[in-house]
Amino acid sequence: MSLSLRAPSLRRRPSRPSLSGGGPLRAVGIVLLWLFVALNVAGLVWVVFQSFRDTRSILSSPFGLPDSWSFENFSTAWKVSDFATATFNSVSVAVISSVVTVALAAPAAYYLSRHESRLNRNLTLFFILGLGVPVQVILIPLFVMLNQVSLTNSLIGLNLVYIGISMPFTVFLLTGFFRSLPAELEEAAALDGASPIGTFLRVMLPVAKGGILTAFVLQLISHWNETLLALTLLQSTDKYTLPVALISFVQQQTYSGADWGGLFAGLCIVILPLLAVYLWLGRKLSEGLTLGMGK
């Protein structure tokens, strides 16, 4: 008795267009991406070039090159608009608020990521809801509350506001990052006799330094560029941060005559320090953003 085996027929499934392959969609996407990058870089280079030119040459030839590399415009912006004091205020506010935000958000995110309970789920939802509240909605209540405790026109009050509005995003970011870390590390630390606090400080924080650095840099960028809250809460020129000082400088030029070279120099003072930080930590920032996506 013979048995005949028939191989099942295989049918090819129609291929679907994918962005990950070498199809036309991917090519168009790459071209658009590089075009967007080129436009941003060209705009930044143009601002830097114009900061070395005077107003007459800028108006006569907007896309021309500087005749000389004089830093007179930077000196004018630094002295007339008191950018020296504004730079100190921006550095102190951005660094202090970012450090405190990460220091408070890290243990909160670690606890929420490791302990599953109804209360923790509600707290996580509470932080997520905080992401959807626009700053414009809470601007007037914030001003009234800070005015009642004499914290308007104060860098301390501005720091407290920055810390409060940054906590939801930072906790959300670090919670996902801590969840991606293996639980075996905590078990090994517990076998060695480490307490929960000691495990967090000695084991988990060093492992999570990529996520911590990412959260710190993102908050530093956000607080350095923030304008609306600083413009509303600060009234004295000696308390101005760089974005507010730049707005004040533009208003001065409106009455005394536009100094476009000084204006572009002020823009460079605001932009270039943050660009240097990003170029220094850009790779670590990208790694930190992707490491927390494992779970």
Q: Model confidence over 27-53: pLDDT tens digits? A: 888 899 999 989 989 988 999 998 888
Q: Model confidence over 243-280: pLDDT tens digits? A: 998 888 878 776 666 778 888 888 888 888 888 887 77
Q: Model confidence over 164-189: pLDDT tens digits? A: 999 999 998 898 888 888 888 888 88
> pTM surpassing 0.85?
no
Distance between CA atoms of 266 and 247, rounded to whole angstroms?
10
Q: What was the pLDDT predicted at 176?
A: 83
269 φ, ψ (degrees, to nearest 5): -65, -35
Is a pLDDT exceeding 80 seen at residue 3? Answer: no
Distance between CA atoms of 90 and 220, rounded to whole angstroms?
10
Is a pLDDT exceeding 70 seen at residue 230? Answer: yes
- Average pLDDT of the chain? 82
Is a pLDDT exceeding 80 seen at residue 8? Answer: no
| Total residues belonging to the chain | 295
pLDDT band at 127 (very low <50, low <70, confident <90, very high): confident
Is a pLDDT exceeding 50 seen at residue 212? Answer: yes
pLDDT band at 100 (very low <50, low <70, confident <90, very high): very high
260-291 and 83-114 helices cross at what angle (nearest 10)?
Answer: 10
Q: Among 1.50.10.10, 2.60.40.420, 1.10.3720.10, 3.40.50.1970, name the CATH number for the domain at 72-291.
A: 1.10.3720.10
Which comes out higher in pLDDT, residue 103 or 281?
Answer: 103
The token duo for 254 is 């409106």
C-alpha distances (whole Å) from 286 to each of 142, 174, 293 are 33, 15, 12
